[in-house]
Amino acid sequence: MSIINGNYPVQDAINEYMKELPFNGELVFAHFIDKLQKAEGVVIQHLVNAESRAIDINTNQYLDAEPINVKTVPVSGYFTIPNFDNVSYVV
């Protein structure tokens, strides 16, 4: 959280990037990092791990998470971020 503005610049940047992706838009980590670099207070970005899980349309259950290495297109047409529990910051 920004102690100056009371907002969450990293979370805001991530959400903004995801909203800018068109339907079936390709998530590209180079572009994602570009967005993070513009967030207030961010100096060095280091992406340790990213995963995506699809929903099985027959059972409506999430499948196992699969790693995203460089880029990917969503199975369902779009991505969502359920929470930011695994996003960490060093300040």
Q: Classify residue 50 by its DSSP letter.
A: -
- Residue percentage of the chain with pLDDT more than 70: 98
For the segment 60-85, the average pLDDT, to the nearest whole number, is 87
**Phi, then psi, of 79 in degrees rounded to 5:** -110, 150
Q: How confident is the model at residue 17 (pLDDT cuts 50, 70, 90)?
A: very high
Residue 17 neighbours by CB distance under 10 Å: 19
Tell the residue number behind the tokens 């967030």, with chain if given: 39
The C-alpha atoms of residue 38 and residue 33 are separated, in whole angstroms, by: 9
Report pLDDT digits (tens) over 50-61: 888 888 889 989
